[in-house]
Structure 1
Amino acid sequence: MPPRRRPQFTQENIDQQLQQIHLLDQASSSENLEQLGPIIKQIHTNRQQEAYLRTVHALIESKDAEIETICSDNYQDFISSVSTLFSIKSYTTNLRDKISTLDASVSQVGRGLVEKKKALLQSKKTAANLDETIDALQACLRVLDVVNRVGEMIKERKYWSALRSLEDIESMPPTSLSQTPCFSICCHPCRPCWLLDIRNVSAQIGQLALEAMELRTRRWRSRREKDPMLKLSRVGSAAEAITNEKTEYNVLDNEQLQVDFKPLYECIHIYGALESLDEIRRSYQADRKAQSDLIIPEPLPLSSLSSVTQEIVGYFIIETHVLNTTGNFRSEREVEDLWDALMKRLRNAVEDVLKNEGDSDTFLRVKEALLGFVMTLESYSFATNNLHTFILQLFERYVGILEKSFAKRFDSIVSQDDCLSMYVEKASERDSVLDTVWLVRTERDELFKSTLPFNLPWSQSFYLCCQDIRNFVQNFYQFIEGVSQHHRDIDDLLSKSLDTILGSISESIARRAQSTSNLSQIAQIVTNLEHFEIACSELERTLTNIRSSQRGGTIRVKAATSFASTRSVALGRVTESINSKLDDFFGLSEYDWTPKAREDAPSMYLYELVNWLTTVVDSLVIKDAYKEVAYRGAVAYIADCFMDFLTGRTVPMMNENAIANVLLDVDFLEEELKRSGHSDLNSAFGELRSTVSVVTSDAITSYLVASIRQASYPLVKPKKLQTLLEKLARHGLECKDAASRERGEKRRKEADAVGRLFPGEGR
């Protein structure tokens, strides 16, 4: 820590402090001398500091003079030393140049020595190789001599002597023979070279085999189409196999490719003669296993799937040929192990590459590649059940993608439909549409006989949906074409898929019906739904017939119930739309609920209401049964409106004249319904008439009797009767004349009596 500096006091500071001192305070009895001490001390300190600074300055001046004297005395010596250093640097530079020159000379001499040494080593290596070759030839002289003599004897037709000479080779010790350089030269090089050759031609062999299978498939398909008796036979069946034998194609020996197995056979023969067959067998298995591991890249690009399958096919065609032509050299178990391992790797590779794939066409291309691969190797007796199962798993994913794709299409078709019946002008248009949709035969025949042009019963959405359903089925079977196993699984999957996509159509139509308020459009939707129900059963029958002819099962389409449910919803929307318009009519009604006299004619708004109802419902393009449902719903709604006037909360009170006016309007409506042929709908007003009759006939006392009530007034609900009586009572009690007030009190008591007898009953 640095020493604490003393405070500095200037003359001005001291003068200020002196001015602040009062030596004699008039208010004090003593002199103020204590304040002089610090000031005197400060003055003394300042004087010391000034003396110290003067001493330092004098010392610095003396040192500067001394330094100047020393520099003047030694200047010449310093100049001489610098000159000496420059001379030394010059000598050092010259010495370095001489060393570099000497190093280059030494390097040149050493390079020549290195070249001579390398040449000497190469000469020694060549001499060693010559010595080794001479030793090898000398070691093989006996075998070569015997082989040469055998060849000469064969040329001279001395076969017996040749056989005796061969016995000399057989009598040689196997171990000593196998250790000769001749054995290594003759046997070992041929096998690796041959394995490399077949590795290089495997893809070409596979390509030729797949092309041959494709040609075979097309040829059999053409013949099957011409001969109905062969319709159920597939490639690989007994009938097709017999036909194919006449044009059998050898992929290992043809105009394009000839695979020579002679090196392998010779190698097997030599190792067998030397009793070392196990050695070559193990080596061959290891080499082929290594080659199989290189066939499938990781990851597997879809673009290279065809080339990979070609190489696999070629690989196992070669293995099959080796297995069938080399006796016990190869075992079926070894080939099966290679097959199982490679198929597992192929399956995993395809699964990985299709993990996030959403394009149905990609799945179709993969299926085509795998199916041709499977059919080709089936012809060589390889087990392909696992691959068929895998193709079906891919098929399920493919169908799921199709379902999502077609569901979007169906939703778009339904949402964009104008809900107007299709119009056809030409016979070609009619035939195209009728060939696409599914109909019962009677309706189809009637439409074919109809005079052109005319309107079809359904709108465009039904036609387009049927068209896309056919496309879906076509895409479905396009994937499964050629897959000969698991028919029942395929049929079940098709049934589920059809129910899924048909259900999506039904849901889309239900949403469209809920968002539509136009009666004619809703009626068209009802007609479309009815035809969809028919299409489900006809589609089921058609597909079942197709599958039966192909040894398939039964197709079950259960979506008809969904369309029936949606049709009920659409019919409900018809009723709701009509009721909404009826609300507008009743909103125009201007009833006086406490009139002084009764009307002699029905309300004017009812004329317009009846005219609108009959016009709209009769003009709907739907079945008469559905029109009847619309009428029934409308009349029931009208009856409920009148009943709400009498027993609801809208009207607080009324008198008997108002009730009579309501009955007059009901009479008018019933007469109109009878005139239009709907007299059976008059039953909708039964509750209203029964409830009013209890009041107008003063039958409350009788109504309170259980037996009379059950026999004469089964439709009358106690709560509604009580409400009507309360409205009448409220009006009577507000009247000023005594008679009306008396009737009001009577109605009040009747209402209380009805309420006490049935406290728990609702409306």
Structure 2
Amino acid sequence: MAEFDIQQLVLVSDATNDAENLEHLGPAMKEVYRNNKMKPFLDQLAMFIQRKEIEIERMCNSNYQDFVQSVDRLLSVRQGTVDLKNKINVLNTDVQQAGISLAKKKHELIESKRILENIAAATETLKSCVHFLDLANRVNVQVENRKYYSALRIVDEIQAIHLKSVIQFEFARHMQDCIPILQQAIKDAVITEMRAWLASVRSKQKVIGELAMDRMLQRQQRWRERATMGLKLRSAHNVNSAVEAAVNEENEVDLMDLEAFDIDFRPLYQCLHIFDELGLRAELKVNFAEDRHAQAKSTLSSQNCIKDRNIEGFKSLLQDIIGFFIIEHVIMHSTINFRTQSQSYNYPVHQLNDLLLTLFRTYTDQLEAKFSFNFKKLMDDDEYKPMTVDSQGEYDILQSAFTFNEDDDAARQGFPRTLPFSKVVPYCCEDIRSFVTQFYKFIEGFKQEQNELDELVKDSLDTLLIQHVHSVLLKKLESQNLSQIAQIIVNLEYFQNACGDFEHLLANSRSTSDTSKIDLQATGLFRETRRNAESRISDLIKSKINDVLELAEYEWMAPEVREVSTYIEELEPLLSAVLFAQLHNLPETIKKHVYADAFNHLATTLHGILTDPNVTQVNLNFVATFDKDIRRLEDFGQALNEPRVQDTFTGLRQLTALLMSDHTDDPEIRERMYPLVRPEDLNRMLEKLSNSPTPTTPQEKTGRRWDGMLRGWGQRSS
């Protein structure tokens, strides 16, 4: 302690009232004790005493009395110091006891605080762990409750916030490793639910398709009603065209409103949202596309109903397909950047196209079968007679079935009126028009990429006309009945003309913008068959003529000249029946051709009979009778009013006239008056006349002159 402190203590001890100054001594001693300076203090005190003793001794030497007094005082101070020391020791002991107790209590307090802090920290840690585990458990609960977005948010919260505070624990590190597993579990759960939703939609798409078909049927019916009310729109604008959509806008019902079918798209939207949150939209797009592709393949692959002609099965299949694509349409337009148009509609639809084409072919087959049945019945019921129309109404119905023209005289006739064709023609044409109309009604609303359906109906119509109409008519042409064949020729001509109407009908009905000309193969086939039928008539007439002439008995050496031969008496009514009765319904152009062909054949045959080299002898009576026969046939031909028929026998008649004349030996007269006579025919006939026996009648005697003529003719010919 500093000397000042020693002096201070001395001053204190020197005081007369220790009690008053005790409070000053206490702090000083306490300071000495607190600073653990007791020994320095004692050392300083000893030094202080020593100095004082020296000082006292010096003072005593100078002033003994003062010294004695000082000693006394010093002793007094010393005694006071001893007392002070004892007090200090007692005070120190008391302070030490109090300090130990206080320190112990303080230590206990500090330890208690530390324990409390540890308990609080442990409590907070346990709370964090419990909350962490509770969150982890809530993930599973949310997934079980199908609250996938909440579960995903909890996983994100665990990973971003709570995991950091408990990462020092083993279970937290394990939980950190399980975060991807939890996310995968959420992803699997949400995609499982989405696929279950897809399966449920698959079961409901048939109902959607059924409603769509019903509404489309109503829409088509409204359009047909408008078309029949004079709007004249249907031929240029089909159902689903812009014009039709605008006209029917106020009546249109949104097929995309699927609330009536209890279809909730939230599983899909939820799945899309979760995958977006996970950053896996691309993966979902691929998975969803694969699932829908599988469903499309399953939907489009059921074609047995077409093969089995199961109408209800096909109707169900078609409803399924329509419902499928309606759902695709809704998905595409209710999501963003999820399903593109190419994904929603660019399925490999070759199976669907094949199915639809098979359907359309099947439908055309059914229409063909129905038409074939009706046509055969019409042919069986047909009388092969010109059709009679009793009223203007019936006539108008026929005109609507197919176009036919009448000449002015026929048009001025009243009713009943006879038309050239038989009743099979208009009824058949009406069935053909119905065939085309029903087909296009069946495909109404179907958009063709090309004109494959137009080609299909064209080919089917050609098949119908060729394999049914034409083949039946061709079979009927094998008949021997000329009137029936004549009527078939007339019918063939009208069928040929009707093909132009059918081509026009196809061009107006087709559902594409194709403007190319339509040519039916049946047109040329009907034309060719009609020509063959004309030849068939000519052949039959020739055959009938041949039958008469082959059975005829010719009097080569006739005893007299007859007015007409027996075979002419038989041939004339035959020609009358054939040409005037059985062929009266033929068109004039065909009639003239048939008449000319028949008379040419008759003239050729008679010429062959007259000049037959197997007949070596004839007399002039036969020639004269033969000449009358020819004139009789010419008179018959006059009634036909056909110049080609009238001139048919000119050459033959010139030969007979020359044989009976006196000009056989005069070349100039012969060439001028008989230019059509061939020298070889005249030569042959002269030989036959010269070979006849000695004449017994005036005619025969006249005929003997042919000997000299023949010889002269032979010399001039050489």
* Normalised-by-shorter TM-score class: 0.5 to 0.7
Using the TM superposition, give the Cα deviation of residue 271 of structure 1 relative to its aligned residue in structure 2, in angstroms: 4.7
Distance in 2 between residues matched to 1:548 and 1:187, nearest whole Å: 48
Structure 1 439/196 Cα, relative in aligned 2: closer, same or farther at 3 Å? Answer: same
Deviation by residue 1:373-424 (Cα, 9 ceiling, x = unmatched): xxxxxxxxxxxxxxxxxx3x75457546755764575456436533233455
1:524 corresponding residue in structure 2? 487
The residue number in structure 1 matching 2:475 is 511
CA distance in 1 between counterparts of 2:438 and 2:287 reads: 48
**Letter matched to residue 261 of structure 2:** Q
Cα distance change, pair 481–267 in 1 and its aligned pair in 2 (3 A): closer
Q: What SS does the corresponding residue of 1:176 show, helix, strand or coil?
A: helix
Which of the numbers 155, 161, 180 marks the counterpart of 1:168? 161
> Closer, same or farther in 2 for the Cα pair 1:714/1:402, shift >3 Å?
farther
Q: How many residues align?
A: 553
Distance 1:169 1:305 in 2: 60
Give yes or no for contact 1:438–1:539 (8 Å, CA) kept in 2: no
Task: Answer whether contact 2:474 2:529 (CA < 8 A) is retained.
Answer: yes
- Counterpart in 2 of 1:80? none
Distance 1:170-1:319 versus aligned 2 partners, 3 A rule: farther
Partner-residue secondary structure (3-state), 1:527: helix
Which residue in the other structure is 2:260 paired with? 255
* Counterpart for residue 473 of structure 1: 436
Q: 1:223 to 1:255 in 2, by over 3 A?
A: same
Q: How does 1:665-704 map to 2 (within 5 A)?
A: 665-671=629-635, 673-674=637-638, 681-692=645-656
Contact kept? 2:627, 2:657, Cα under 8 Å: no
Shift of 1:434: 5.1
Q: 2:343 aligns with which of 335, 348, 359?
A: 335
Verify: 1:662 aligned to 2:662, yes or no.
Answer: no
Q: Please, which runs of 5 or more residues in structure 2 have no aligned partner?
A: 1-128, 142-155, 168-172
Mapped pair 1:193 → 2:193: yes
Name the counterpart of 1:599. Answer: 561
Counterpart secondary structure, 1:528:
helix
Cα separation, partners in 2 of 1:245 and 1:728, compared to 1, 3 Å: same
Which whole-Å CA distance do the structure 2 matches of 1:280 and 1:548 have between them? 40
State the AA in 1 paired with 2:198. I
Deviation per CA, 1:155-204: give whole Å up to 9, x if none.
xxxxxxxx999973799999938626654565532331232123112331
Q: 1:643 to 1:595 in 2, by over 3 A?
A: same
CA 1:686–1:257 in structure 2 vs 1: closer, same or farther (change >3 Å)? same
Alignment of 1:55-70 (within 5 A): none
- Taking the aligned partners of 1:512 and 1:241, their CA distance within structure 2 comes to 51
Structure 1 residue 642 and structure 2 residue 638: aligned?
no
Identity %: 26
The whole-number CA distance in structure 2 between the counterparts of 1:191 and 1:406 is 55
Tell me the CA shift for residue 619 of structure 1. Answer: 3.6
In 1, Cα distance between the equivalents of 2:303 and 2:491?
50
Once the 2 structures are TM-superposed, how far is the Cα of residue 593 of structure 1 from its aligned partner?
Answer: 1.8
Corresponding residue for residue 446 of structure 1: 411
Provide the rounded CA distance (Å) in 1 between the counterparts of 2:362 and 2:670. Answer: 67
Q: CA deviation at 1:645?
A: 2.5
SS in 1 for 2:676: coil
* One-letter amino acid matched to 2:385: L
The 5 Å alignment of 1:198-213 reads 198-205=198-205, 207-209=207-209, 211-212=211-212
Question: Is the Cα–Cα contact under 8 Å of residues 209 and 321 in structure 2 kept in the other structure?
Answer: no
CA RMSD, Structure 1 to Structure 2 (Å): 5.2
2:241 maps to amino acid: S
Alpha-carbon distance in 1 for matches of 2:678, 2:518: 52
Q: Indicate whether 1:419 and 2:388 are aligned.
A: no
Instruction: Map Cα deviations across residues 678-715 of structure 1 (whole Å, 9 max, x no partner).
Output: 67633212221344466556877777x9xx99887663
8 Å CA contact retained: 1:414, 1:512: no
Aligned to 1:723: 684
In the alignment, the residues of structure 1 paired with residue 662 and residue 290 of structure 2 have an alpha-carbon distance, to the nearest angstrom, of 111
- Asked whether the equivalents of residues 728 and 747 of structure 1 are also in contact (C-alpha less than 8 Å), the reply is no
Letter in 2 for 1:472: F
Q: Matched residues in 1 for 2:195 and 2:644: separation?
A: 94
What pairs up with 1:103-502 in 2 under 5 angstroms?
A: 140-141=133-134, 168=161, 176=176, 179=179, 183=183, 186-205=186-205, 207-209=207-209, 211-212=211-212, 214-216=214-216, 218-219=218-219, 221-223=221-223, 225-226=225-226, 228=231, 230-231=233-234, 232-240=236-244, 244=249, 249=254, 251=256, 253-261=258-266, 263-275=267-279, 284=288, 294-295=298-299, 300-302=304-306, 304-315=313-324, 317-318=326-327, 321-322=330-331, 327-328=336-337, 330=338, 332=340, 335=343, 339-341=346-348, 343-346=349-352, 350=355, 367=356, 391=357, 395=360, 399=364, 402=367, 406=371, 410=375, 413-414=378-379, 417-423=382-388, 432-433=397-398, 435-440=400-405, 446=411, 450-452=414-416, 455-485=418-448, 490-491=453-454, 494-502=457-465
Change in Cα spacing, 1:221 to 1:555, as seen in structure 2 (3 Å) is: farther
**d(CA) in 2 for partners of 1:627, 1:145:** 102
Contact 2:425 2:495 in 1 (8 A): yes
d(CA) in 2 for partners of 1:661, 1:638: 17
Deviation at 1:222, TM superposition (A): 0.9
Over 3 Å counting, the alpha-carbon distance change for 1:305 and 1:672 in structure 2 is closer
Going from structure 1 to structure 2, the CA distance change for 1:139 and 1:464 (only over 3 Å counts) comes to: same
Q: Deviations over 1:304-340 (max 9, x none)?
A: 4454555555555555555555545x3639936x952
Note closer, same or farther for the CA distance 1:249–1:536 as it changes in structure 2 (3 Å cut). Answer: closer
2:477 alignment partner, SS class: helix
Q: Which has the larger radius of gyration?
A: 2
- The residue type paired with residue 440 of structure 1 is N
